[in-house]
Amino acid sequence: MRNIVCIVLIALCFNVHAQKKELRKIDKLVLESFWEEAKDELETSKSLILSSEDKYKAQFYFYDAKVSNELKDFKNAINSLNNLNKLNPNSNLPTKLELEYSNLGIVISNSVVNSAVTDNQNSNFLDAAEKLIMAYEMDMDKNIDYLYFAAGSAVNGKDYDLSLEYYVKLKNMGYTGIVDEYFVTNNETGVEEKVSQTEYDLLKSSKDYSNPRIGQTESRFPEIVKNIALIYLQQGKIDLAEAAINEAREVTPTDLNLILNQADLFIRISNDSDNDEKMLLYRNKFKESMKLAISLAPENGILYYNLGVIAARENELEDAEAYYLKAIDLKPDYTDAYLNLYDIYRVKSSKMVEEMDNLGFSKQDTNKYDELKELRLSQWKKVLPMFERWYEIDSQSVEALKVLASINNVLGNEEAYKQYQAKISELQSN
């Protein structure tokens, strides 16, 4: 029995010696920045060292975390750091490693984030999102900003389910991202400068600076609730999108982009509805949203154009005409507005022709016929200069030429009609 005990003790001493030898070898490779070689040694000695005392395990995990970070194997780096943290490293690590250990988490976190930044710059958005989540999970209290950035990367990577998960989590946390900002005015230049908190504490009492003030960044919460709504909209989850947009509007009632997306949602619901009452309800909601948008951006011709489209659909031709004219006034090269406006005049003209065709041969009907004929021609004469200006703005527009040819044909301007037709042929042949 004594012999057996001796054999065991000899074996233990041998293992300890081997573990120390392996750790010294790894330490030397790390000091010389031979990261690949160090990784190989860590893999080779893993089972030996991890079957030993905590102090050797702690060193192994320290080196493995450090080496893995240098090799950008961030998952393993974080995993080894977590294992190290469970071993009471302040007691188990050698003195020379204790200081480096105290900053190891920050070093790894910064490496992960920097790699994510590079991924975003290279359009590897989902890789960036994954790394940012790693950084966030390393310290969820301090690194919550990384969850926000991960959501943005996921959006850019078109993984809307993932981005929605992150945004909803941020919303439920009440995350705002608000931080203090520090400013001082340079007395020599008179320019207010943004500085760090440390600089602020130094400069606020300096004779070279004045007017120290502390401000705050804008809250990110409105953007978060808006993005949730927009993702639901993009996914076609109409009911969820409507509820989310309503919530977002309560937070940011004057956000133009959100109002326009809400208007888009309303018109989608209206167009997809088989219920006339519901269709009319949401079409009116669309109009209200667009009018609100116009009040916030009165110089935006596209907004008037959209109202014109809806008015035309509802056969409100006078309103549609007014909206298209306003759109053109604000955006003189707006091809779609010109074409839709031309359609309005064509409809009006067709209605007059139809009424003329239904008249009889009485004196009264003859007078009415002449009246309608003159009214029809006067309409086209009145709008002709506007379409001519369109062609002056865009002389390569086949659409403008076709409209001008058609109007001149109605007016009996044969020579002008032929000229425009020739220009159409010329452009189409090129």
**Has residue 290 been placed in a domain?**
no
Is pLDDT above 80 for 398?
Answer: yes
pLDDT for 12-68, tens place per residue?
Answer: 444 566 778 888 999 899 999 999 999 999 999 998 899 888 999 999 999 999 999
Is pLDDT above 60 for 1?
Answer: no
**Has residue 385 been placed in a domain?**
yes
Residues 336, 208, single domain; the answer is: no
Measured in degrees and rounded to the nearest 5, phi and psi for residue 276 equal -60, -40
Residues 17, 123, single domain; the answer is: yes
Residues 203, 128, single domain; the answer is: no
Mean predicted lDDT score pLDDT of the chain: 90
Residues 310, 419, single domain; the answer is: yes
CATH number at residue 12: 1.25.40
The confidence score (pLDDT) of residue 15 equals 59
Amino acid at 375: L
The confidence score (pLDDT) of residue 106 equals 94
Residues 66, 131, single domain; the answer is: yes
**Has residue 378 been placed in a domain?**
yes
Q: What is the largest CA-CA distance in the chain?
A: 138
d(C-alpha 48, C-alpha 25), whole Å:
14
**Alpha-carbon dihedral 18, 21, 23, 25, rounded to 10 degrees:** -140
> CA 218 → CA 215, 253, 416, distances in Å?
10, 16, 59
**Has residue 238 been placed in a domain?**
no
The confidence score (pLDDT) of residue 5 equals 45
> CA 283 → CA 238, 241, 267, 321, distances in Å?
15, 17, 6, 18
CB 212 within 8 A of CB 204: yes
**Has residue 106 been placed in a domain?**
yes
Residues 103-127 have a mean pLDDT of: 96
| Domain ranges, residue 202 | 180-216
Residues 217-245 have a mean pLDDT of: 87
d(C-alpha 5, C-alpha 23), whole Å:
27
CATH number at residue 313: 1.25.40.10
Name every residue whose Cβ is closer than 8 Å to that of residue 332 and which is 6 or more positions away in sequence.
389, 390, 393
Tokens linked to 225: 């609730």
**Has residue 76 been placed in a domain?**
yes
Residues 116, 198, single domain; the answer is: no
Give the confidence band of 272 by pLDDT, cuts at 50, 70, 90. Answer: confident
**Has residue 340 been placed in a domain?**
yes
Which has more pLDDT, 117 or 315? 117
Residues 192, 100, single domain; the answer is: no
Residues 311, 210, single domain; the answer is: no
Residues 112, 196, single domain; the answer is: no
Is pLDDT above 70 for 2?
Answer: no
d(C-alpha 229, C-alpha 330), whole Å:
30
Domain total in the chain: 3
Number of C-beta neighbours around residue 213 at 10 A? 12
CB 115 within 8 A of CB 133: no
**Has residue 229 been placed in a domain?**
no
Residues 380, 323, single domain; the answer is: yes
The residue from 216, 234, 261 where one domain ends is 216
CB 283 within 8 A of CB 260: no
Name every residue whose Cβ is closer than 8 Å to that of residue 291 and which is 6 or more positions away in sequence.
307
Amino acid at 370: D
Residues 50, 185, single domain; the answer is: no
Measured in degrees and rounded to the nearest 5, phi and psi for residue 389 equal -65, -35
Lowest pLDDT segment from 12-16, 195-199, 288-292, 294-298: 12-16
Is pLDDT above 50 for 229?
Answer: yes
Is pLDDT above 50 for 9?
Answer: no
Q: What does the DSSP 8-state code read for residue 331?
A: -
